[in-house]
Amino acid sequence: MKAYSAWSVFRHALTGNRHWPRAWRDPEPKAGYDVVIVGGGGHGLATAYYLASVHGIRKVAVLEKSYIGSGNTGRNTTIVRSNYEQNANARFYEFSLKLWEDLSLELNYNTMFSQRGVLDVAQSEGMVERYIRRGNAMRLNGIDAEFLSPAEVRSMLPGIYEDSACRYPIHGGLYQPRAGNARHDAVAWGFARAADSLGVDIIQGCEVTGFLQEGERIAGVRTNRGDIRAGRTGLAVAGSTGHVAGLAGLRLPIESHVLQAFVTEPVKPVIDTVLTFELADFYISQSDRGSLVFGGELDRYSSYAQRGNLPIVHDVLEAAVTMFPMLGRVRMLRHWGGVCDMTPDGSPIIGASPIEGLYLNCGWCYGGFKATPGSGWMFAHTLATGAPHAVNAPFALDRFERGYTINENGAGPFFNLH
Amino acid sequence: MIRLRCPHCGLRDHSEFTFLGDATVSRPGTEAAGDLARGGAWSDYLYLRRNPRGVQEEFWHHGRGCRAWLVVTRNTETHEVLDTRLARDRGDRA
Ligand SMILES: Cc1cc2nc3c(=O)[nH]c(=O)nc-3n(C[C@H](O)[C@H](O)[C@H](O)COP(=O)(O)OP(=O)(O)OC[C@H]3O[C@@H](n4cnc5c(N)ncnc54)[C@H](O)[C@@H]3O)c2cc1C
Ligand SMILES: [Zn+2]
């Protein structure tokens, strides 16, 4: 791989940018690999990269039914944070956030990671107490957290509603300065290019349609481009997990739900951090291009359709103009939906499946983009050694039957309430 | 908007209903209490789902209407509604 540098940008500019080499190869699938990863989203690609770079396992293929990043990786609103209260979550997402901080250098690819902070706005006294408690829990886990006063929140957000104009006055906010967002496609492309340069085969247009069963074991996959054998097979198919695991006869604690996101025409800089308004089921940030990117709740019925429904459009837009009345005249550019793999405790599953040879990376709900490097790192460790790392051990599949759920918001075992 | 034909109220917008989920799981009896081990009836009921990409039977509650529980047969990929009936009429489980 030819490293990208300021010099290469300059040199290619002189020749009209017509001679850039391909960023990754387009190989034919081989008969077999040490590890086959199903799903070419950020998680699958990161897993392949860390298998090759950390564990020296280079006979690896990533199989993607469409093009890489076409799933939730390319559909999400790119918030990266580690402001969790539960120890297992805090440790895992902070591990991931630390990887984000060096990711562009590590991959020699600009992921445009911008630590502009995430501010959870408290709109009731009860929320103040909960946020302070969460902030304290974060600090005990070595994570940056600050509780801001109403005046501090207002000074950061010039366009926000007046207290007198809204039922829910601003009571303060929980701020994580090191959080932020990143360019979603760049994360998939950066991992793909770096993994490819270490010998990983990234095979697009290759859909897994079944598994090669040998006795009790899974020994590879069936695809539209032929059978591919694998020492170990890892699933990283997010919203499609229920369907793909079903091909191996597995039922999982996962239900697929659709989440929508929205983007406006580009405007001048107005919001320089990432904001969440839990009470209004609303969050918003501004992309580097100037578009306001925002979203809200799940559509709440199970769905494999990558599109959502109008009641949510209504709710989200209503929240947008209530929180920021100035947005009333901004035009929407587009909105879309992605299929999220919801679990009954709202936390992911990374580890072995009940079937030998098959490993699971799923249950990311609507929060797995921030996990991309950490998830890849932990899944690679699990696939390479056959056992989980201490950080992902709590996220084992059997936590449900053992009664060790990791339930950040305390909702019961309902997939659409997390 | 998905529209469900409630046997009591007729064709109504889905925003009047609350989705509960897979209607093929059945709640175990008290004799299975405490049984959360793998394959255990309670752990299956609480956590495991078929989650099909295609036709699924599911519970919806007409909370902003007649308050009846319905069993809706719906395609999760196309959102097409194939059948709606009262859960009560199924009689067997819920
Ligand atoms: C609207 C929306 C907003 C979100 N916002 C955020 C956010 O702000 N912050 C955050 O942290 N997370 C967010 N998320 C969640 C996040 O996007 C996901 O958790 C994360 O991207 C999952 O990455 P992945 O690599 O596991 O999955 P994906 O990127 O979905 O990759 C899975 C891939 O598997 C492929 N695949 C499926 N079936 C097969 C098959 N049979 N054979 C081969 N390939 C197959 C798919 O084509 C897909 O490319 C959001 C999600 C949505 C939908
Ligand atoms: Zn009714």
| Structural domains for chain B | 3-26+52-89 (3.30.2270.10)
| B36/A402 touch (CB, cutoff 8 Å), yes or no | yes
Q: State yes or no: pLDDT of A395 exceeds 60.
A: yes
Start-to-end CA span in chain A (Å): 42
Res A179: pLDDT: 98
d(CA A230, CA A33): 5
Per-residue pLDDT band for A215 (boundaries 50, 70, 90) equals very high
Eight-state DSSP code of residue A72: G
Asked if residues A196 and A54 have their Cβ atoms less than 8 Å apart, the reply is no
Asked if residues A416 and A339 have their Cβ atoms less than 8 Å apart, the reply is no
Res A1: pLDDT: 74
Reported as type and span, the H/E element at residue A338 is strand A332-342
Q: What does DSSP say about strands A118-122 and A274-277: parallel, antiparallel, or unpaired?
A: parallel
Eight-state DSSP code of residue A142: T
Look up residue A338 and give its two tokens: 């992605």
Q: State yes or no: pLDDT of A364 exceeds 80.
A: yes
Q: State yes or no: pLDDT of B4 exceeds 70.
A: yes
CA angle B63, B69, B74 (to 5 degrees): 100
Q: Is A242 in the pocket of ligand 1 (CB under 6 A)?
A: no
Ligand nearest to the CA of A97: 1
Which ligand 1 atom is nearest residue A63's CA?
Answer: 43
| Nearest residue to A73 via CA among A179, A202, A190, A242 | A190
Q: What does DSSP say about strands A255-264 and A292-302: parallel, antiparallel, or unpaired?
A: antiparallel
Burial of B14 by CB count in 10 Å (0-12 exposed, 13-18 middle, 19+ buried)? buried
Asked if residues B44 and B25 have their Cβ atoms less than 8 Å apart, the reply is yes
| B48/A305 touch (CB, cutoff 8 Å), yes or no | no
Q: State yes or no: pLDDT of A133 exceeds 80.
A: yes
Using the Cβ of A277 and the Cβ atoms of chain B, whether some distance falls under 8 Å is answered with no
Using the Cβ of A353 and the Cβ atoms of chain B, whether some distance falls under 8 Å is answered with no
| A301/B58 touch (CB, cutoff 8 Å), yes or no | yes
Q: State yes or no: pLDDT of B12 exceeds 90.
A: yes
| Nearest residue to A296 via CA among A326, B2, A310, A304 | A310
DSSP-derived 3-state class of residue B23: coil
DSSP-derived 3-state class of residue A210: strand
Interface test with B, best of A250, A302, A349 (most B CBs within 10 A): A302
A9-30 as b/e, with b when 16 or more CB fall inside 10 Å?
eeeeeeeeeeeeeeebeeeebe
d(CA A62, CA A60): 7
Res B40: pLDDT: 82
| Nearest residue to A103 via CA among A6, A5, A190 | A190
Burial of B65 by CB count in 10 Å (0-12 exposed, 13-18 middle, 19+ buried)? middle
Residue with tokens 């956590």: B47
Q: Whose CA is nearest to atom 21 of ligand 1?
A: A73
Using the Cβ of A249 and the Cβ atoms of chain B, whether some distance falls under 8 Å is answered with no
Eight-state DSSP code of residue A252: B
CA distance A408 to chain B (A): 17
CB atoms within 10 A of CB A363: 26
* A252 neighbourhood in chain B, CB within 8 Å: 48-49, 51
Q: Is A29 in the pocket of ligand 1 (CB under 6 A)?
A: no
Asked if residues A200 and A49 have their Cβ atoms less than 8 Å apart, the reply is yes
Residues belonging to chain B: 94
Q: List, in order of start, the domains of chain A with CATH numbers.
A: 27-114+180-252+345-418 (3.50.50.60), 115-179+256-342 (3.30.9.10)
Model confidence over A303-352: pLDDT tens digits? 999 999 999 999 999 999 999 999 999 999 999 999 999 999 999 999 99
* B64 neighbourhood in chain A, CB within 8 Å: none
